[in-house]
Structure 1
Amino acid sequence: MSNLTSREHYDLMAAFEREHRGRMDREPKESWQRGIIYQDGHVNEMFLIYRRGYAYGQCVARTKEPSHDR
């Protein structure tokens, strides 16, 4: 996910906010490039972990599984 203002990123934020509790006040978009999305530090850290998990899942989905034929 290279563009933090993409529809994909906003959809990911919406999914995170539906699934987690906490203060979801967002920082200005200018701070997002530095990894500061939410004003609450704990919520922000949880979102960064959530986003990394999403990115990992996308990577795995795009990678072909190695053949187990010998």
Structure 2
Amino acid sequence: MAEFKSHYLSLGFYVNGEFHKFNDGRFVTEDDVAIEVLESLVDVQRVDEPKAEAKPAAKPKAARKTSAK
């Protein structure tokens, strides 16, 4: 889910010919196309951070043991 904030309380925009409107300067969506359109608008700011897939941390390799001769 993506949340956006607008400088204007009732900013309107179109996604694939369909009209959408901010309510009290806030708009929440899960639609990937709408998110792409909103991220391109100048007067709109994304207030949540997109969740990046967590990559497992690489385990450090054990140091080689050398024997003293």
* TM-score category (smaller protein): 0.3 to 0.5
Mark the structure with the bigger radius of gyration: 2
More strand by share: 2
Task: Indicate the structure whose relative CO is greater, using CA pairs within 8 Å and at least 6 residues apart.
Answer: 2
**TM value normalised by structure 2:** 0.36
